[in-house]
Amino acid sequence: MRIAVPKEIKNHEYRVGLTPSSVRELLVHGHEVWVQAGAGTAIGLDDAAYEAAGARLATDAAEAFARGEMIVKVKEPQPAEIAMLREGQLLYTYLHLAPDPAQTAGLVKSGAVCVAYETVTGPGGGLPLLAPMSEVAGRMAVQAGATHLEISKGGMGMLLGGVPGVPPAHVVILGAGVVGTHALQMAVGLGARVTVLDKNVDRLRHLDLVFGNRITTQYSTAHGVEEAVLGADLVIGGVLIPGAAAPKLVTRAMVSRMRRGAVVVDVAIDQGGCFETSHATTHAEPTYVVDGVVHYCVANMPGAVARTSTFALNNATIGHALALADKGWRAALRDDVHLQAGLNVAFGQVTCEPVAQQLGYAHTPVASVLA
């Protein structure tokens, strides 16, 4: 199969779909790989490294999209990229379609076959292709939150861990999944006072066993969320419903009653965000203020540490990339129900049920597409 990797064009996005080592793996399996010139230069993966691994260089995105039978990316395709997709072409990347009707409409119109990293499931549960970026984003959320608590960034001027004689900041984490757990590790490590809320009591029990009295675990209810948020200096939103839009756990009314100079970091923004006051921002302009509360809602947070993120992502995605290339997408999906869960759009049909429900499309079962 001919596989192509275009350079990412989203604002301040420097990750790349395949590393040179991933390129080599695909070549060992007999495939042909094209990488757009300059795709990995910003993170130290120059064109010479790709050529040494056996890749061919495409001069621009148009050539990459034209040559590839399978397109491997990181972020959702931008409008200019969607325009270059063709019917039957395989797209393998993050999509996050539920809060993005324009992208969904474009992919439906293109007729491309779109496999989304974030809805591929794992044998032991969970979302293994989303997990590495959730790990990065969870850790970054505390880092970003701590920075924006500084007065120069619009915050209240609080040091996350405090100092002897001065109490630490109170960090509230909504969701005890991958994002929440990694945010928790960072916040505890920096000496913050931490409360984590989730509806999964087994998950809360596990965190309590690991962290003991260094954290407070709380079952998530509307009242519990409100009480915690109003007493927080930093709130991190890490809730996820696979494939669907994130629930709005924090209302505008709650935000209006939060402490002036408090910070919210909405890691769920890729799926629409879990704060009513959230809207996507970029690394160029990462924050805005609502009712005195600083909102950090960057939609591609891991892009800020693009080298780490690229290698972590490739570790998770290369196995399925090889299966799709070796067998073709139909056979690969038939053979693996977990990869099958990643198919979101194919030949103008929406095959991911939460996306179809959220955006008002008729849902086409994956089995009917494979048949």
Active site members: 96, 270
Q: Which helix (H) or strand (E) holds 194?
A: strand 193-198
Give, as one character, the DSSP assignment of residue 212.
G
Helix (H) / strand (E) containing 287: strand 287-290
Query: What is the 3-class SS of 310-364, one letter each residue?
Result: HHHHHHHHHHHHHHHHHHCHHHHHHHCHHHHCCEEEECCEECCHHHHHHHCCCEC
CB atoms within 10 A of CB 178: 22
Angle made by CA atoms 200, 202, 206, in degrees to the nearest 5: 120
Rg (C-alpha) for the chain, rounded Å, is 21
Question: Starting at the edge strand that comes first in sequence, how are the strands of the sheet with 56-58 ordered?
Answer: 56-58, 32-36, 2-5, 70-72, 90-93, 113-116, 343-346, 349-350
- Would you state the torsion angle of the CA atoms of residues 103, 107, 109, 112, taken in this order, to the nearest 10 degrees? 170
Alpha-carbon torsion angle 41, 43, 49, 53, nearest 10: -120
Sequence letter at residue 39: A
Instruction: Find the helix packing angle between 178-189 and 201-211, rounded to 10°.
Output: 20
Euclidean distance between CA atoms 298 and 286, whole angstroms:
6
Structure tokens at 276: 């009513």
- Pick the closest to residue 353 from 249, 239, 241 (CA basis): 241
Give dist(CA 67, CA 58) in Å, integer.
Answer: 9
